[in-house]
Structures are given as C-alpha cells and as structure tokens.
Amino acid sequence: MNLQPYLSRPSIVLTIWSLYHLIVWTLLPLACNTCLPLDCIEAVMWGSEWQWGYDKHPPLSAWAAQLFAMALGDAGVYLLSQLCIISAGLGIYALGKLLKLSTLQSLLAVLLLDTIYFYQFISVEFNVNYLQLPFWAWGWYFGIRGSLQKNPINWIALGVCVGLGALTKYIAVLLLIPLFAAWYRRGELKETLTSYGIYLAGMVSILLFLPHFLWMKSNDWMTLTYGIRRGASDETFFWHHLWHPVEFILSQFGILLPLLLLCFLCRRKNKETTSPRNGAKELCLTAYASIVI
C-alpha cells in the first residue's frame, strides 16, 4: 500500500481521526445511553457548586463538565471527553515531530492510541483522567521546545500545563519526571536548570495552583485526607499495598498488549530510525515508571 499521499498531507489523516472521535463517540453514547455515566454525573454536580476544590479531586474537571453540560446538555459532556483525547493526540503528533520522528512514526503514535480501549468506548465516561491527557502531551512538547528555542512563551505554556494538570489531578506533576529524563538524555539538563525558563514555568504553575491550595488549607485538606482514608480503611491494608501494584502492572500490560504487538510489527516494516539521543525512549519509559510507582 502506497502511504506517500497520506504522509505528504498528515493534516488530512489527523482531521479524519479527529472527526471519527468527535462524531462516533459523541453521538453513539448520546443515542444509546439513557443518562450520563456515574463519573460524569458526579463531575457535573460538583461543578454546579463552583468551588476551588472538592472532597475527591481538584476543581478543573468539575468546572469543565459543568460548563459543557450547561452549553450542550449530555452531549456536551461526551464531547468534552473526545476533545481531551483529540487535543492530546495532536500534542503527541507535535511532540513526535519535535523529537525528529518521521511523519509516519508521528502519525502512528496518534493512530495507535485507538488500540487502547480507554480511547474507545470507555472514553464516553469523562473523568479527571481524560482531562489531564492534553496537559501531559503538551507539557512535554513545550518543555522540549523551551529547551531548544529559549522562548519564554514555551516555559509559560509548560507552567500552564503543569498548573492546570495539577488542578485536574495531583499526579499530573509527575509529567516533569519524564521531562527531566529527556533533558538529561539530550544533554540539555544542566543548561535547563541554570536558565530562567524552568523557574518561570514553576512560578506560573504555583500561581495557578495557589487558590486550590488555600482552599484545601481552609477545608482541613479534604482532598488529600479523602485519599488517605480510602487507602487505609481496609483491614488488609498492607496486603493491598503489596498486591495492588502487581495487579495494576498486569492489567495495564493486558490493556497495552495489542498496542505493543502492533508497534512491534510497525517497527519491523518501517526501517526509519530516530536519533538515539532525542529523548523519546526516556520520556516513554520514565512516564510508565512514574505512574507505576
């Protein structure tokens, strides 16, 4: 099959992929579901209170769900989830090109997401995990671009991604660990740490997160204590801390198995190679390691 016409116009491929998500996974659940999934209902109800925090999560996902529900009803919440996936996919493509991947490799990095069921029928259940996807992808993009171009806009954008990501789910700050690993591999870590950019990004993210921090302080650290109580409430607390990480790794391996097999096949057919020092492998591996830990 001749892929050259598609590779010469990747915007067409990305547009078709985006329209597929927008149309199928917005209209299909709207036609089939009698009501929103539980997580969606919960987010909309939280958002109607317009607080700087809630007992389980920071506020951004609730605000977004409420805004889209106010504008478009149930369809708005389904649409919001797909917009998060599309935005993340475009960020992945942009990141791939920035890391000197070929057009084919960058497109496959996006298209192969659909082999993971979280990006298919489960994606109709909007929650904090979907909203944080764009912040990870674009945060890495602006972090790498900032080290290359030394433009303050890139560092401000990185700070916005980290800050808004943390306002979605606290683990979003872990996106910095793979970024530091990529900088190290690319030989840019020392220069990055001695430049103003990373500290500008830190200041922006702290300013964005500060209102939620003050809300937590005045509300007995509700969001943090909820997670601690939930994790420590079972009598088999220590056993769960041993078993659940193993269970998580095994389940994620099963979910990713189709993707891994297709990546292996694509790698065998595609002989193009990338620079061993572009940081792509470090970005990927440390991202998985951070989440598992």
Q: Is residue 118 part of a domain?
A: yes
**pLDDT surpasses 60 at 287:** yes
Q: What would the pLDDT profile of 22-71 be if each residue is shown by its tens digit?
A: 999 999 999 998 899 999 999 999 999 999 999 889 999 999 999 999 99
114 pLDDT more than 60: yes
Q: Does the structure show a pLDDT above 80 at 278?
A: no
Tell me the one-letter amino acid at 41: I
Say if residue 136's pLDDT is above 70. Answer: yes
In a domain, 288, yes or no: yes
pLDDT attached to residue 293: 56
Does residue 171 belong to any structural domain of this protein? Answer: yes
In the predicted model, is pLDDT for residue 268 greater than 70?
no
| Three-state DSSP string of the chain | CCCHHHHHCHHHHHHHHHHHHHHHHHHHHHHHCCCCCHHHHHHHHHHCCCCCCCCCCCCHHHHHHHHHHHHHCHHHHHHHHHHHHHHHHHHHHHHHHHCCCCHHHHHHHHHHHHHCHHHCHHHHCCCHHHHHHHHHHHHHHHHHHHHHHCCHHHHHHHHHHHHHHHCCCHHHHHHHHHHHHHHHHCCCHHHHHCCCHHHHHHHHHHHHHHHHHHHHHHCCCHHHHHHHHHHHCCCCHHHHHHHHHHHHHHHHHHHHHHHHHHHHHHHHHCCCCCCCCCCHHHHHHHHHHHHHC
Domain hosting residue 52, numbered range: 4-221+231-292
Residue 226 lies in a domain: no
Q: Is residue 211 part of a domain?
A: yes
Which region among 27-31, 103-107, 238-242 has the lowest average model confidence (pLDDT)? Answer: 238-242
Question: How far, in Å, CA of 145 to CA of 143, rounded?
Answer: 5
What pLDDT is recorded for position 261?
Answer: 84
Q: How far apart are CA 88 and CA 170, in angstroms?
A: 18
List the structure tokens of 68: 């889209």
Name which of 180, 205, 194 is nearest 58 in CA terms.
Answer: 205
Tell me if 11 is assigned to some domain: yes
d(C-alpha 244, C-alpha 281), whole Å: 26
Which two three-digit tokens encode residue 259? 């993707």
End-to-end CA distance of the chain: 42
Residue 182 lies in a domain: yes
The rounded distance, in Å, linking the Cα atoms of 207 and 289 is 28
Contact partners, residue 171, CB within 8 Å, separation at least 6:
132, 291
Give the tokens for residue 77.
Answer: 């919440």
Query: How many domains are contained in the chain?
Result: 1
Which amino acid, 58?
A: P
| Residue 141 pLDDT > 90 | yes
Residue with tokens 């951004």: 60
pTM listed for this prediction: 0.89
Percent of the chain at pLDDT > 70 equals 83
Closest C-alpha to 60, from 171, 169, 140? 169
92 belongs to a structural domain:
yes
